[in-house]
């Protein structure tokens, strides 16, 4: 039996309206400078350098995982965002996040791991050489984008944490800051935002730990300073502004699944054969295009199919 959506979430807050993209000038925000490099495990450290949303990222190599498709214009990607911590309106986050502070910023790594630690975000982004990965990104509402994200495989961080054998899942918690995030002052979702992956999903090389896009530092409205990008899953699975990575033997209760379990499952793999209760998932519209196109299973990333062999993907949606 399918449940109705919760009373506190209106359809206008979940379902996007067909609107023309707002062509405002890109607003870049300077972050607060910090000092002192990473000093060791379990030590709260401060950032080593200034990071700005329009700052170029050096040493980026092209990734063989990249899709060979037309890239969505940067202005569209930075001015049409699902980021309820700032606003339920797609055009709102670009303006409301312009002064969001991404430094100092630390990420707590804990749970079922050998190396529990608190790391400065600038230490994390130096774990591996940055890659540009042109990924298709499909949102559950039916729109999609193609973005040159910058980062490296999430498994680089996972391996450094040295998960224990009982660690079966990875849980991501995003920042809770009602002073900076006006959307968190509303009871739209149960804050802070939580997402999760099965361990084999987190270890798959397609799972990206992301800190930039279009060759520059990640803009605030797109998840700065650190997010994940999971191209075979619907967009809400790609947690933004991460402050905690927790390893656990239990499946996390992710925020949207908690809010509307009949509409947003734990796995949320892109699947044209499983419709949302209120709309079809068989087609999508790329931002900037008029005509719809067929939605591909796993968003076209067949490399992950083996992760779900033998599973009923209609039941485990």
Q: What is the 3-state secondary structure (H, E, C) of 193-232?
A: CEEEEEHHHHHCCCCEEEEEECCEECCHHHCCCCEEECCC
Report the alpha-carbon angle 123-221-182, nearest 5: 110
Tokens of 205: 């090389």
Question: What is residue 98's predicted lDDT score, i.e. its pLDDT?
Answer: 96
Mean pLDDT computed over 126-133: 98
Question: What is residue 13's predicted lDDT score, i.e. its pLDDT?
Answer: 38
Peptide bond preceding 192: is omega within 30 degrees of 0, i.e. cis? yes
**pLDDT of 9 above 90:** no
Nearest to 61 by CA among 148, 165, 163, 138: 148
pTM of the model: 0.84
Mean pLDDT computed over 198-218: 98
**What count of other Cβ atoms lies within 10 Å of the Cβ of residue 187?**
9
**pLDDT of 50 above 90:** no
pLDDT in tens, 239-256: 999 999 999 999 999 999
Question: What is residue 53's predicted lDDT score, i.e. its pLDDT?
Answer: 62
**pLDDT of 223 above 60:** yes
**Mean pLDDT over each residue of the chain, to the nearest integer:** 87
Tokens of 219: 């803009």
More confident residue, 206 or 9: 206
Q: Which domains does the chain have, with CATH numbers?
A: 11-308 (3.90.420.10)
Q: How far apart are CA 213 and CA 57, in angstroms?
A: 9
Nearest to 158 by CA among 118, 97, 113: 113
More confident residue, 315 or 12: 315
Secondary structure class of 49 (helix, strand, coil): coil
């Amino acid at each position: 039996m399918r449940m109705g959506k919760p009373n506190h979430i209106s359809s206008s807050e979940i379902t996007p309206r067909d609107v023309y993209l707002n062509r405002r000038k890109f607003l870049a925000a300077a972050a607060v400078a910090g000092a002192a490099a990473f000093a060791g495990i379990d030590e709260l450290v401060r950032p080593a350098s200034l990071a700005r949303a329009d700052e170029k990222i050096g040493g980026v190599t092209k990734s063989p995982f990249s899709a060979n498709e037309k890239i969505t214009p940067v202005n569209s990607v930075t001015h049409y965002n699902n980021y309820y911590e700032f606003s339920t309106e797609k055009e709102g986050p670009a303006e409301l996040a312009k002064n969001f502070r991404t430094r100092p910023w630390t990420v707590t790594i804990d749970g079922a791991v050998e190396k529990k630690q608190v790391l400065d975000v600038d230490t994390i982004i130096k774990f591996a050489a940055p890659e540009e990965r042109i990924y298709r990104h499909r949102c559950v509402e039916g729109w999609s984008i193609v973005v040159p994200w910058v980062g490296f495989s999430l498994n680089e961080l996972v391996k450094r944490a040295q998960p224990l054998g009982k660690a079966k899942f990875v849980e991501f918690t995003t920042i809770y800051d009602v002073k900076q995030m006006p959307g968190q002052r509303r009871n739209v979702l149960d804050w802070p935002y939580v997402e999760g992956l099965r361990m084999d999903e987190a270890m798959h090389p397609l799972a990206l730990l992301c800190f930039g896009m279009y060759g520059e530092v990640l803009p605030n409205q797109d998840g700065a300073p650190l997010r994940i990008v999971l191209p075979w899953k619907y967009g809400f699975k790609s947690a933004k502004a991460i402050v905690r990575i927790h390893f656990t033997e239990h499946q996390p209760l992710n925020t949207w699944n908690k809010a509307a379990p009949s509409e947003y499952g734990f796995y949320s793999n892109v699947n044209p054969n499983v419709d949302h209760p209120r709309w079809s998932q068989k087609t999508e519209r790329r931002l900037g295009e008029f005509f719809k196109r067929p939605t591909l299973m796993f968003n076209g990333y067949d490399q992950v199919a083996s992760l779900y062999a033998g599973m009923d993907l209609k039941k485990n949606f």
